[in-house]
A and B are shown apart, each in its own frame.
Chain A
Amino acid sequence: MTIPQPSARVAPASAAGAAPARRPRPDQAPRRPMIECRGLHKYYGDYHALRGIDLTIREGEFFSLLGPSGCGKTTLLRTIAGFEDISSGVVMIDGRDMRNVPANVRPTNMVFQSYAIFPHLTVAENVGFGLRRDPRSRVEKAAAVEEALGMVGLTGFGGRAAHALSGGQRQRVALARALILKPKVLLLDEPLSALDRKMREQMQVELIKLQRQVGITFVLVTHDQEEALVMSDRIAVMFEGEIAQLDGPEALYARPASRKVADFIGVMNFLPARIMSETHDHVTVAAPGLGTVDIPAANVSRVDAGDAGPSIGFRPEAATLLGAGATAAGRVTEGVIDEVVYYGDMTYYDVIMDGTDAYDGIPHEVRISMRNVFGREVPDVGTRTRVSWSPGSLVLFR
């Protein structure tokens, strides 16, 4: 398996504009594993926090652990860091079994959610903290500190009191402090969650650049799907102590492995479906309002426990509202606009599609997103409209 090499970035609907283009990999060769977790279990008393994690993170990868709070992502990160003992299983870093290797000698460094900047020290003392046991001379260490500060854009801040810094600056100090030790793996525990939106988007870009520059394996924990999609080479989506899907951002967004993953990453419309027939390379389904569609086998995902039967899903940007007289290549369904949510650069339309009440008597609403074009009128609530969609963008959950 190789790292997915996407040609174009598929942004989640709300990540309008600010995200950088995905970086090209400097070399295409498969990289060696940096972190390997095998059969990892973690119990807190009776609570089963990690339920058999099998995971390989490769050298130089920007890897994200994504999931809702309480899914075990932070526990997994702290297990890799050595802050938590594991109940059973193996953690290997760079080919070495980490059993009995305490956190202070592991080749990992961590950026904490609260940053954990030492408030009684200066910025330079914070950044140079990890060099205390370094045999280099004072002058060499000071140069290393200055270099690390330069890397995060804080040149000349060394003499400042750490507690007088802004949130974004603390974040940078925490990064410099962890990177100065040149760890094999940098662990980031929700590092951007305390920043405001503008700052967060700016730091996302800087983190990607920084990772490319230092070439260190980054493991990021986040509950923010947009952040994970923007920054990661690969993402492990976790629910209740298990990895639900491990994939690149595009695959994760376009072909979620289950309804739960689809629901967690971005917005997805679901319609009840009936399976008509099945061949080795596609499944024929009937969905109310959409008619009969052939779904390629690659777009067939599983349902989760508790889901009521199979369903068809598509993303808001996979369908388009057709203006009067316009023609489309895909298939067309009619409906009535029930709600319009204007976002400036784009608009969400909730459309009740004709015939969607055929199976369960409930008219289903689907959300369609359209980029606003200057001069084009935004249709009003209550307008009848035509919706064009392509069968290739549908995902079947069965």
Chain B
Amino acid sequence: MSVAGRGSGLRVYAVAYLVFLYAPIALLPIFALNDATVIAFPLKDFTTRWFVQMVENAALRTALLNSLTIALSAAVLATSLGIFAARASTRYSFPAKGPIMGLIMLPLVLPEIIVAVSLLVVLLAAGVNLSIFTVILGHTLICMPFAVAILSTAFASLDTSLEEAAYDLGETRWSAFRLVILPLVMPGIMSALLMSFTVSLDEFIIAFFLAGNEPTLPTYIFSQLRFPKSIPMIMALGTMLVALSVVLLMLAEYFRRRGVARTGRTDSGGFL
């Protein structure tokens, strides 16, 4: 083809870029299945014992359970609050709307360490004991911008006369919202939930500062890096987390596409 020669430089760049991005991640499953405690080539025998070790590790199970509890709670809280904020910002105008929305989005750009330290100071001063609960509060704060951004797009793409039409046809304000708006923004809500869940699951700094003695998955992994012999097990854990992330991402994309198909809009972008 006539264009073959023209883009070859760009093609090399693109391949190099992808290798640089994904090669380290590709190493995770390789060493997770390698029968050696040292992370180095050449590879030894194939083994699944690191996965067995991982599953049998009680401390890791506790950390995983904590992380899932935190991520689920933070995702539900951030998304629920995000629905109110996104609807208010797209449908109504009120005084100081710009600054209020700005404050909600601020944690996105605020250094997380600052957020973590400030929260720690406030919580200690208020006499609150550090626990999973305090981590949930911190994570809700940093998940909110993601949820609001996704949900605002979902709400803004709706024709306002849809709600008026339902109201005009005899429904109440609330039932019009429930019957028309909610189903149409549901893909956005699922996306916001999954995004918040993912953000919370791998968050380290806030969890490190606010969890007290409770380990979460990232803080547990960090603590294990000091012990060379647990590194292959961390590799196995990493493999599982990558797989989980891919599944979550595909799920989010599935909901997004289904939403597009159901409402007959033209597909404009997305994750995949």
**Which residues of A does B touch, CB under 8 Å?**
81, 83, 103-105, 108-110, 112-114, 116, 118-120, 129-130, 132-133, 161-164, 177-178, 181
Contact = CB atoms under 8 A, between A and B. Distances in A.
A81 B165 CA distance: 11
B162 A118 contact: yes
A133 B264 contact: no
Given A104-B172, A118-B162, 11 more contacts: A103-B164, A104-B171, A113-B161, A114-B161, A116-B159, A116-B162, A119-B184, A120-B263, A129-B169, A132-B170, A163-B262
A116 B264 contact: no
**3 smallest beta-carbon distances between A and B, as pairs:** A163-B264, A130-B169, A116-B165
Interface of B: 159, 161-162, 164-172, 179-180, 183-184, 262-265
Given A113-B161, A114-B161, A120 B168 contact: no
A152 to B, nearest CB: 16
29 contacts: A83-B168, A103-B164, A103-B167, A103-B168, A104-B167, A104-B172, A109-B168, A110-B164, A112-B164, A112-B165, A116-B159, A116-B164, A116-B165, A118-B165, A118-B180, A119-B262, A119-B264, A120-B183, A120-B262, A120-B263, A129-B166, A129-B169, A130-B169, A130-B170, A133-B170, A163-B263, A164-B264, A177-B165, A177-B169
Main secondary structure of the interface of A (DSSP, over half): mixed
B258 to A, nearest CB: 11
A114 B159 CA distance: 8
Nearest to A105: B170
Contact of A181 (B165, B169, B262): B169
A130 B165 CA distance: 10
Among B169, B171, B172, B264, the one with the most A-chain Cβ atoms within 10 Å of its Cβ is B169
B164 A132 contact: no
Contacts of A108: 168
B131 to A, nearest CB: 41
Contacts of B162: 116, 118
B263 A132 contact: no
B177 to A, nearest CB: 13
Contacts of A133: 170
A231 to B, nearest CB: 22
Contact of B161 (A112, A120, A162): A112
A181 B159 CA distance: 23
Nearest to B164: A83
Given A119-B262, A120-B262, A163-B264, A104 B170 contact: yes
Contacts of A130: 169-170
Contacts of A118: 162, 165-166, 180
Contacts of A110: 164-165, 168
Contacts of B171: 104, 132
Contacts of B170: 104-105, 130, 132-133, 181
Contacts of B264: 119, 161-164
A346 B166 CA distance: 46
A130 B168 CA distance: 9
Contacts of A81: 168
A178 B166 CA distance: 10
Nearest to A102: B167
Contacts of A113: 161
A114 B170 CA distance: 19
B184 A120 contact: yes
B70 to A, nearest CB: 33
Nearest to B184: A120
Contacts of B262: 119-120, 163
B260 to A, nearest CB: 10
A161 B130 CA distance: 52
Nearest to A106: B168
A120 B265 CA distance: 11
A114 B168 CA distance: 15
B161 A116 contact: yes
Contacts of A164: 264
A58 B57 CA distance: 81
A83 B160 CA distance: 12
A350 B183 CA distance: 58
